[in-house]
Amino acid sequence: MVLMPVILRSLVKLVSAVMREPTASVTTMLYYSNQLPRNLNLERFVRHEFLRQDGLFFHFLIGMLRCLW
C-alpha cells in the first residue's frame, strides 16, 4: 500500500519524460545501459536528472537493456 504512490510517481515521471523529450529519454536509457557509444555529440542529449530519486522505472528499463543486449 505504501509503495503504490512511489511506483505511480515513478511511472508518471517516465511517461511524461518520454512524451516531453523522447530523444533525451531514449538516449539516456541507451547511454546508461552501455548501448550508446561514448561520444560528446551524443552525451549532450543525456539527461542525468531522469535518474534521480524518483527514476525507478528508468533504472528498471536500463537494467533490462543491460541484460538483453
Q: What is the pTM of this model?
A: 0.80
Residue 50's pLDDT is what?
83
Instruction: Quote the cell numbers at residue 14.
Output: 517516465
Domain residue ranges in the chain: 3-68
Residue 56's pLDDT is what?
86
Tens place of pLDDT per residue across the chain (69 aa): 688 888 888 889 889 989 999 999 999 999 999 988 888 888 899 988 888 877 888 889 999 999 987
User: With 0-12 CB in 10 A as exposed, 13-18 as middle and 19+ as buried, what is 28?
Assistant: buried
d(CA 42, CA 13): 23
